[in-house]
Structures are given as structure tokens and as C-alpha cells.
Structure 1
């Protein structure tokens, strides 16, 4: 969906030979994949139906064929000049900060849900599916004793996943002060949906914008980290080239050679295809909608503005704020500039179909309950929730270089096993 004119990372620079391919190789159409099942025939929805916009928007959506999702088999870096097209050092700076703060305020304002409230969510099975995908990523790449950097850690929803991986040290960073306090509460085991025992690793929590702050300087004594994670949040860095670069510079500078960066984010190929197939600038179903501004009325995205492609995203009981398109082929090339090599990218549908074939992950899915309890003929994941999952992809990057052979320093003196509000660090930018 991205023409050759759409793929120049630094506007004004001629594309190199490696950019000549107009479209990344598509993954398999999951509607043609064989149906998956638990032993008791619990099934995934196997195709996306056209549907209706939620009540706020009205009219019937046009029917859409399947499209090709993103898929593939496979010290702080210097910051370059901003791209052209209105993203100079002065233009848009206050708007960029305002958007980041709006996102932070949105997530801070969301209160922690009780187990009962969570189970009554209209997207409970989507949330469970997302948790399964994150759990698989962590189980595949985290090892006992690993040091973890969790960017945009939010309310600490992945703390249990890291604990099950027996990691040795955890640093969580988030822009939203309310969320980071909730993360502290969850870490201390003080929520009614939380654990019976304390976490096994010491932790440190930092409140700052990890797409603006020089984390490599602030966390110099804590690194290098074995694994970095950024779940459903990296696209918030794509409002400008400077923010996108700072995000990757932080990851690269703080990962050890051979360390991995795992994450999830919107699949730009799917979103742009959906937009171009829609009659107007909006599309969605009963649980989500996406709306682009009038500046995208022609549904074209020129190379002069590869960053800052903003849209409004609403997901019932979860998200209601501006987001930014991340063309994954550009993300891959930008990551390479910071020594991060792509080893996996899969749309969520392909990810589910592949890893649900593995017995250990099938059992995990059963325990989480995203697809029911295995005793019903139909999945409890609704068709509309399954369609939302198609909007996302999972990725894994690895930092170039060989892992160090010497023993790492002990985590005994890093972080704390119990955190107070006074322990939360606020890093000014």
C-alpha cells in the first residue's frame, strides 16, 4: 500500500536500491489458513466480516476484501536532521508535546478495574488474546536473571509475565504519572486482582516521556539490559522523526549486544488498506473505529511527510486518543541505523495461527480463556474483536553484536523489593 514515493525515511534523499520494492512481502491470508482448534474444537474466527460503525458514527461500512498484513521470516546513536514537510525543530513542537500529554492524561485517568469489571468488558476476550501474545513474546525471549527495560509500562499489566519468566531486575518507564503509581501499587501486591505473593525481582519505576528523554544517560548504571519491551505504545513516538529516533536510540544504547527488543503496535499496511477501501475517512465495527482528518481526503501519504500521520482511534473500554501510523518497512530501516536487526514481524492473525500450533502456548491460551474453556464448539472471541486484532503486529529486533561472555553484576543492590510513591523517579525533559 506504500508506493516508492511513500518510503523515503529522510525526505529529500533519493531512495537507495534496497528501497526500490514498492510493497513489503505480504503474509499469508489468514482466512485461507486451516482452522485451528483445541482438542475440544474451540475455533478462532477465520475471516473478517464487514460491519457497522458504532452508534457515534452511523452508516453501514462498505465490504472489504482481505489485505496483506505485515509479515517477515526473519551509546546513543547520533540524532539526524528532522525530515522536511513541516517537522523542523520549531514547527509543531508545542502541538507534539500537547498530543503526548493528552495520551498520558487519557491513560492516567483510566482507573484500575476489579476482576469483575474486567470480565464484564465488551472486549475481554481481545484483552486476553493480547495478553497471550505478549506472554508468548516474553516466554520466547526472556530468560531467568534477565534485566528488563519496559518502555511505556503503563499500570504494570505485564509484571506477572516477567515474574513467570524469572527475570532478575525490572525498570518500568511511563509518561503517565497516574499509571506509574498504579504500577507501583500492582508491584507491591496491593490490588484486588493481584497476587498472593510478592514479585521475585527488584524494580525501579520512572515517570518520563521515553521518546524525549535521554534514558541512556539516566540509566547508565543500570544497563545494559538483556531485553526491552514496548507493548501497544511505540506508535506514539512516530509523531515526529526526532521522537521516533530518540525511542530507538534509547533502546539501542541500553540493550547489550545480542539483546532483544520485543513489542506490539498497529499494522500500518492493514490500517491504510482499510482507509483506502472505506467510502470516507472512517472505518470500524461495534467495538472500534478509526478516523483520519480531512488533510488525508485523497488518502495519499507523500514521502515528504513519513512521520506525523495522525488518526483518531477509539476502542471500547480501552483507548480513545490520537495515534500515529508507523509504516513498518520504514521502522525496520530506521532501526537498522541504530544497530537493531529485525528477526520477526507478524500480523496478530498470523502470529496466533503459528504459535497456537505449539502445545505449550495452546495450554496457555486455554488458561487465559481468550478462546473459551475448550468445551464449546465456538470461540468466545467475537468476530469484531478478531477484526480489531488484525490491526496489530508483533515484532522482535536484536541488537547487533555478540553477547558478553563475562558474568553480569548482581541485581541485589539495584531497585527495591517494595516501592513507595517517594521511590518513583520523575525525570524532567
Structure 2
């Protein structure tokens, strides 16, 4: 698979110190099969079952510095592209781990969507300030709305007709779950494009297919990893060859200590870029996480942010930093930004957002079945 962006720095480098059309007729010609729904349910159940950690448990995680690095990458993306007073659509929002980041960006409205019921409940309590796993600050300054459903299957443009358009959409470490079928991949991009305003931005992170395939081909068998992660491909990929005519449904099993243990899918980025263009989403950049860190760590405001988050230690007494194994995991991912075509709309923000709440009850969560 050819690269869709410049070569990343080598994975051997240690942690830094302190246009093909696959279906021009759209997604209507593709139907979900039962196996896809089963895998989607497995992913949902996995994330629902994960409980919120206490601060002590989190700090003792074997990948704590990797988590902090990922938070830094997401924070940089948000600071770069969030619009003050803007409307945010957070797809696969999980337990609401980015809510504080959006609050610091002074957004005006937030809609979170996730397939996992347990994660939605945790997101609700976090937004309300009821979560006991971390010390809460002041209440969030923006109204919010939460929707539980499969955003890679449901038609969000209908559900969120009164909430759109959004200024920014975020999908962090989750868009690859849409790549099990072409139908799901197209539905994800159609939802994003239909809900973004012209000039609106999609920011995200996903596995770097080029790195994963490279590591697979370098491995003796169908497994590779280190002390904190492993990846396994099934026997159907024993020849380690992937047809360019079949870029969807390339499944592997991914295990990351204290984080992930479920099926995932390869996203050939040049295919993703071409497909996104069909939905008026144009690539701004895609950078492997190593490249992203090396570029933005040179900017003083992001150095200070890194120090506060502690991914590379706090610069004082805490000299701990990412382990080499955590840094290798970071190399498995990339960050990307796309913009929706059209003249940026700088008119006053949509005021039809009275469906958002400043305190969200269980009854306020909208549950949408994908059956």
C-alpha cells in the first residue's frame, strides 16, 4: 500500500526529551452483514465494560505516559482548530475524556455520540461533575447533548438536523472502527460532511496502516508487539499481501495493556483520503504521531502544555518519561485534519441549540437503535 503522506521519523528514535472512487453511487448499495454488527457490538461491550479509574490507578498504569502523550496530541489539535464559541460534534466520544479540553477552548455547544451505553453514562456523570475518579473544577461552561448509537450506521444528519451545522468534528482513536465495510466507512464520512459547515474541520487520530503493515511484514509470523501491546492477524493474511481492490474489512486483533483488547481494521490512508474527497472533505495534513510530536514540541506553548500534562515528566523532580515500548506504540498512530469544501461561514453561530443541557439526566441521553 503506497503512502498517502510523507515518511515518518524512524520508530527506532527514542522519545523526545522534555483519487480512486470505490462506489460513486454512495452507500445505499451496501448492506450491513450480521458479522459486522457482531463486531460493532463487541467493540461497544469492550468499552462499556471499562470502568473509570481513580487518579491513583491511572498514575500506576503501565502506559500512563502514552496516555498523557495522546492527551497532548489531542489538546494540540483542539487548540489549533477549535473555534471560540463554536459547536463541536464529538464522534465516539467515549467517557468524555476530552470535555475539559473543549472547555479550555471556550466552545459554545457540544454534542457527544458513542455506541457504548456504559461510556455514555460515564460521560454524563463526568459532564455533570459527579464522577469520583478525578477532582472536578468548575462546572463546564457550554451546554451539551449526548446520543447513544452507532454513528457509523445511523443517519446523524436526521437526528441532529436542529443542532447543525457544526464548526468542528472530532473523532479520536475511533474512525478505523468504521472501516469494517465500505457501507460503514461511507456512512461515517457522510455523517461528518453533512453536519459540518463549509470550511468546518474534522480532526482525528487513527492507527497508521503503513506502520502496522510494515511491522507485520517484518515479523516472522502474524504477531508482533512488545511489553505493552501486541497485534495479531488471522491466517487469511498469512501471505501478508493486501489487494488494493479490497481496502475494507482488513481485520486484526489489537491488545494494549490497560486500554484496548478488541478487533480493529486497517485504514489505507490514500483510500481514506480519496473517499473523504467524495464527501467534500479535503486533507489538510496527516502526520504520524512521531512526526507530530517532533514538529509541535518545538513551539513554546505546546512545550508548556507537555510539561503540565507530564508525558515527558514535569521538567522538575519528575524525570520519568515515555518508555521505549510506549514510544513504539505511539508510532502505530497518526493525526489528521480535513476541511469541508466551501467558503468558510463567519455568520453568527446557530442559536437553535436549546436542546443542550447544562446538567444532563439519564433521561436526557437519546438512545438510537441501529436495528
TM-score category, normalised to shorter length: over 0.9
After superposition, the CA RMSD in angstroms is 1.9
Deviation at 1:31, TM superposition (A): 6.2
For residues 33-78 of structure 1, the C-alpha deviation after alignment (integer angstroms, 9 at most, x for no partner) is 89854xxxx3xxxxxxxxxxxxxxxxxxxxxxxxxxxxxxxxxx96
For 1:165, the equivalent position in structure 2 comes to 105
The CA deviation at 1:344 is 1.1
Q: Kindly state the Cα deviation for residue 374 of structure 1 after the two structures are TM-superposed.
A: 1.2
SS in 1 for 2:95: coil
- Counterpart of 2:68 in structure 1 is 128
Selected match of 1:330 from 271, 278, 296: 271
Instruction: Kindly indicate whether the alpha-carbon contact (under 8 Å) linking 2:15 and 2:327 is maintained by their aligned counterparts in 1.
Output: no
2:228/2:325 contact within 8 Å kept: yes
Q: Identify the residue that residue 31 of structure 2 maps to in structure 1.
A: 89
Could you list the runs of 5+ residues in structure 2 that have no partner in the other structure? 19-23
Give the deviation of 1:407 after TM superposition. 1.8
Aligned residues: 364
Partner of 1:288: 229
Q: Tell me which residue corresponds to 1:217.
A: 158
Distance 1:146 1:366 in 2: 28
Structure 2 counterparts to residues 89-108 of structure 1, below 5 A: 89=31, 93-108=33-48
User: 1:332-371 counterparts in 2 under 5 A?
Assistant: 332-371=273-312
Secondary structure, aligned partner of 2:290? helix
Compute the displacement of 1:80 (Å): 4.1
1:145 aligns with 2:91: no
Larger radius of gyration: 1
Aligned to 1:69: none
Given candidates 314, 339, 343, the residue that maps to 1:398 is: 339
Q: Which runs of 5+ in 1 are unaligned?
A: 3-21, 43-76, 83-87
Alignment of 1:159-238 (within 5 A): 159-192=99-132, 193-238=134-179
Deviation at 1:155, TM superposition (A): 0.3
SS at match of 2:295: helix
Query: 1:261 and 1:199 mapped to 2: Cα distance?
Result: 23
Q: 1:104 to 1:28 in 2, by over 3 A?
A: closer
Q: What is aligned with 1:16? A: none
Establish whether residue 24 from structure 1 lines up as the match of residue 1 from structure 2: no
**8 Å contact from structure 2 (residues 73, 293) kept in 1:** yes
Do 1:30 and 1:350's aligned partners in 2 also have CA atoms closer than 8 Å? no
Greater CA drift, 378-387 or 242-251:
378-387
- The 1:352/1:146 distance shift into structure 2, 3 A limit, reads same
TM-score, reference length from structure 2 = 0.94
Find the aligned partners of 1:368 and 1:23 in 2 and give their Cα distance: 32
Please give the TM-score of this superposition, normalised by the length of structure 1. Answer: 0.82
Change in 2 beyond 3 A, CA 1:31/1:207: closer
